[in-house]
Chain A
């Protein structure tokens, strides 16, 4: 009873301090309320002290008051926009957010094509090489070097086993970008020495590093053919055959596209290239460890592998360079002759060991992972395509299930990404996400600009859960619906008007 009155009075005085203009009325109301409360409280006896309202939450108001007083002392108090006497404190926002921080705020990760988390088993394999086993693997003279060299060779074997190669054919690089550069520029420059073969064939949907290397080689005097793809994203074999000339040095087609997930017909392309005596390079960064690959069955001469796409560490990759028949390359990085002279430089044992372990795990877990990812992908895709005016980009039969790329008509891609800010997604590849151009891969499929702008890529991986997929489905349906309601184009479509018939007037 006696406890209530002071607290009520304190609250009343706080209210008075906050709104000095309305103080009189509020104070009177507060005191009457206090009076009523004390009267009712004294009627029923309580042996337990009342829990104060403030017990369960952060003293946000109190802290805001203190902060406000500090600001006043420094003369920095800003009055609110609407002219009221409420003083706005920058700390108020932070604190009010802190009070509701009990729930998780971190977005769920569905961008596995950009990068993947490092598997704990991989980290466990790497840790000794960051702590006690620190030798240089190229030191031939002492045990520190021998033990790290042994680990590096074991990692090499794991990677080779994953793709059906011989360990001597694996060259470690800093990633798939370096491997792509090394393969394409290396082969092209080797042939340019004798001056016989000057033609390179690639496709329009390749990764930026491949396209950029080819453009660079064009400046050096090579001719490059950029093959168009069908609207499903697949290469047309007849066009490829027609494009191969007697002076073609290398054909570079990626195995699994990073934006639409389309799987190219590697066996056919390999067979064709082998028959025409042309080197076949494939950027398999997104494919290794996810679909079964065999460099001998598919007649692949050069392959780029990336570690951070298969739950390994970032900063390491590999290039498979065939030894029988020998593929001759001009090395990009010269030095002490490590890695068969093709890529000099000290190897990083922790990264290499992590990469090897990631490949070993990928080989063991491939059946389990692919079954599960297919199940999650089917669930997601069915849910998304059941919404109206959505379409999948890429061939619906020949695509890697972990990469789902869907276009939502009449919704802008960037605004949908912002609406889905509690889900980590991408529209297009990470390399091109900085620019606002529509993705060149989607344009190459023949999609219009608006359709290319309004697509989202969902990446599903080993660690994605059903709960996350359900959350994504619910969030996407809600927010796409919300954004479409805002769109005037959507209204027109709902009325049945065909947008192509509209004459947009010039202002």
Chain B
């Protein structure tokens, strides 16, 4: 976040925008778009972290807000038209199962 915005309530705004963008970007059902959204916001905020001019900061925040609106619409659309997961994504629980079927954890006495 910029040095100007490092203090004051604009720092909070920028930080909250960043968190909202990341959280919304995580809602994409497509692996590639999801990873791109998270990576791009991270890199864009990192790139602009030393911007001083308050007008430029305001402009960037506006662009961020527009992107947030776009993300809200597009994540919903992407969830309507879901597809099966990619091979590189891994299973539901993210657990590693070497061959065989994915079973629930054994409950009860051993």
Contact = CB atoms under 8 A, between A and B. Distances in A.
Interface in A299-342: none
Contacts of A464: 32
Interface stretch (A119-127, A217-225, A280-288): A119-127
Contacts of A105: 84-85, 87
Contact of A50 (B83, B84, B97, B108): B108
Interface in B1-57: 28, 30-33, 35-36, 40, 43
B103 A57 contact: yes
Interface stretch (A26-34, A106-114, A196-204, A245-253): A106-114
Nearest to B36: A463
Nearest to A471: B88
Contact of A465 (B35, B78, B107): B35
Contacts of B71: 120
Contacts of B106: 51
Given A48-B109, A109-B32, A465-B35, A102 B91 contact: yes
A57 B101 CA distance: 7
Nearest to A470: B88
Contacts of A84: none
A436 interface: no
B108 A51 contact: yes
A368 interface: yes
B70 A120 contact: yes
A46 B37 CA distance: 51
A46 B43 CA distance: 56
Q: How large is the interface on A (under 10, 10 to 19, 20 to 34, 35 or more residues)?
A: 35 or more
Contacts of A106: 83-87
Nearest to B78: A120
A121 B86 contact: no
B33 A108 contact: no
Contact of A104 (B35, B74, B88, B107): B88
Given A106-B87, A108-B88, A422-B87, A51 B32 contact: no
Mostly, the B contact residues are: loop
Interface string A106-148: 1111000000010011011001000000000000000000000
A293 B43 CA distance: 26
A103 interface: yes
Interface residues of B, number: 36
A458 to B, nearest CB: 15
Contacts of B91: 102-104
Contacts of B87: 103-108, 422, 471
A104 B84 contact: yes
A55 B101 contact: no
Contacts of B77: 123
A462 B40 CA distance: 10
Contacts of B86: 104, 106-108
A9 interface: no
A102 B35 contact: no
A100 interface: yes
A57 B84 CA distance: 19
B72 to A, nearest CB: 10
A124 B70 contact: yes
Contacts of B93: 102
Interface in A256-284: none
A57 B104 CA distance: 9
Interface string B79-106: 0000111111111110001000111101
Nearest to B73: A124
Interface string A68-112: 000000000000000000000000000000011111111111000
B89 to A, nearest CB: 5
A48 B43 contact: no
B103 A56 contact: yes
6 closest A-B pairs by beta carbon, nearest first, are A104-B85, A463-B32, A120-B74, A56-B103, A56-B104, A102-B91
Given A104-B86, A124-B70, 17 more contacts: A48-B108, A51-B106, A57-B103, A102-B91, A102-B102, A103-B90, A104-B85, A106-B84, A106-B86, A106-B87, A107-B87, A120-B71, A463-B36, A464-B32, A465-B31, A465-B32, A467-B88
